[in-house]
């Protein structure tokens, strides 16, 4: 086996052993051999998914490490971020410059059970926001850094108060939990980009949200035992995928399509002559588009930011 190359920057991937995350890892490894140190964050670093991914990366002599991270556990997020910042500071990791973060981790559950809905809120909104905030000092030092949160077009159906309603949630309300969690993360993303820009109008730190479209191929988003609805829906949509993609290229793709779009965000010459980002951006695969009107309301973004940072016991200002 050939020696591993010395990587020049980090890409941190959460949900790295999931369907999209693991496909992205493989894509980055093949597209940019030796360029990145891959930090592969997942809840279980010893399961079969992690072992299979490790075997592939070792066969490519890739520079990587499996890192334990549970976004639903805020202490886990804080400890993880502190470790990454510390290792960068000591020179044990190369820093984020030219690389960045891709937050693939998420859960989707339509159950109206309050505990399940809160777990989705922590995993999809609070944990990722805390990770962005806790890594910010290292991200800003890195220079040209991309921070990509995986989103969904369904955010347009989400509501800002979904996770703070009183009383028992109905089944129809519960179905909007995932969309709401992604709407809130998108808006914290936008708010954070504006705050970073105000402090440094020359910043090269770029926050973006990327909608991978609807994917098939054994997604683990719905957990190990998906509901009957998904067991019927996904094979049906997969069968009609080629027809649907003629109308919408983001419809029913294998995860390789989304992974390639994400990986290409790390091309060295991309945005090289572009001014600093005052506001975050939203993509559907490789197309920059506008997100929902509500998500673009800066006053509402600031309200969401204040609410989320208060729940995380963080200062409102950077």
CA distances from 234 to 16, 28, 221 (A): 22, 26, 12
Total number of domains constituting the chain: 1
pLDDT by position in tens, the chain (length 318): 344 555 789 999 999 999 999 999 999 999 999 999 999 999 999 999 999 999 999 999 999 999 999 999 999 999 999 999 999 999 999 999 999 999 999 999 999 999 999 999 999 999 999 999 999 999 999 889 999 999 999 999 999 999 998 888 999 999 999 999 999 999 999 999 999 999 999 999 999 999 998 755 555 554 554 555 445 555 555 555 554 445 455 556 788 999 999 999 999 888 877 889 999 999 999 999 999 999 999 999 999 999 999 999 999 999
Instruction: Label the pairing between strands 9-14 and 36-42.
Output: parallel
> Is 180 part of a structural domain of the chain?
yes
Can you give the pLDDT at residue 8?
84
For residue 244, what are the domain limits? 9-311
> Is 114 part of a structural domain of the chain?
yes
- Give 83: exposed, middle or buried? Use CB within 10 Å, 0-12, 13-18, 19+: middle
For 261-270, the pLDDT digits (tens) are: 999 999 988 8
HSE value, Cβ hemisphere, 13 Å, CA-based, for 188: 32
> Is 187 part of a structural domain of the chain?
yes
Q: How far apart are CA 29 and CA 33, in angstroms?
A: 5
pTM greater than the 0.85 cutoff: yes
Name the DSSP letter for residue 113.
-
Cross-strand partners of 245: none
Can you give the pLDDT at residue 296?
98
> Is 121 part of a structural domain of the chain?
yes
> Is 167 part of a structural domain of the chain?
yes
> Is 2 part of a structural domain of the chain?
no
Q: How far apart are CA 74 and CA 125, in angstroms?
A: 11
CA distances from 286 to 20, 189, 279 (A): 16, 18, 18
For 108-134, the pLDDT digits (tens) are: 999 999 999 999 999 999 999 999 999
- Classify the C-alpha dihedral 41-44-48-51 as positive or negative: positive
Can you give the pLDDT at residue 272?
75
Show the beta-strand stretches assigned E in the chain. Answer: 9-14, 36-42, 64-68, 100-103, 145-150, 205-211, 281-284, 287-289
Q: How far apart are CA 314 and CA 43, in angstroms?
A: 24
CATH number at residue 23: 3.40.50.720
> Is 22 part of a structural domain of the chain?
yes
Can you give the pLDDT at residue 166?
84
> Is 1 part of a structural domain of the chain?
no
């Amino acid at each position: 086996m050939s020696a591993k190359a010395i990587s020049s920057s980090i890409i941190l991937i959460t949900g790295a052993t999931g369907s999209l995350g693991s496909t992205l890892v493989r894509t980055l490894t093949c597209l940019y051999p030796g360029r990145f140190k891959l930090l592969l964050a997942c809840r279980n670093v010893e399961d079969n998914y992690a072992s299979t991914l490790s075997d592939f990366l070792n066969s490519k002599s890739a520079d990587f490490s499996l890192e334990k991270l549970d976004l639903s556990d805020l202490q886990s997020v804080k400890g993880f971020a502190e470790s990454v910042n510390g290792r960068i500071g000591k020179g044990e990791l190369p820093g984020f410059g030219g690389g960045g973060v891709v937050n693939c981790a998420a859960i989707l559950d339509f159950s109206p059970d309050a505990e399940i809905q809160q777990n989705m809120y922590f995993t999809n909104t609070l944990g990722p926001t805390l990770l962005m905030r806790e890594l910010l000092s290292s991200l800003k030092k890195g220079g040209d850094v991309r921070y990509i949160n995986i989103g969904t077009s369904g955010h347009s159906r989400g509501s800002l108060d979904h996770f703070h309603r009183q009383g028992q949630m109905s089944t129809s309300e519960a179905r909007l939990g995932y969309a709401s969690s992604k709407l809130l993360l998108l808006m914290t993303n936008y708010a954070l980009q504006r705050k970073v820009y105000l402090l440094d109008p020359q910043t090269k730190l770029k926050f973006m949200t990327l909608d991978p479209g609807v994917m098939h191929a054994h997604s683990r988003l719905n957990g190990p035992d998906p509901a009957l609805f998904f067991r019927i829906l996904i094979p049906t949509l997969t069968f009609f995928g080629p027809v649907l993609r003629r109308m919408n290229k983001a419809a029913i793709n294998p995860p390789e399509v989304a992974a390639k779009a994400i990986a290409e965000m790390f091309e060295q010459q991309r945005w090289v002559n572009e001014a600093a980002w005052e506001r975050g951006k939203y993509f559907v695969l490789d197309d920059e588009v506008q997100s929902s009107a509500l998500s673009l309301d800066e006053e509402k973004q600031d309200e969401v930011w204040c609410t989320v940072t208060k729940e995380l016991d963080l200062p409102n200002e950077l």
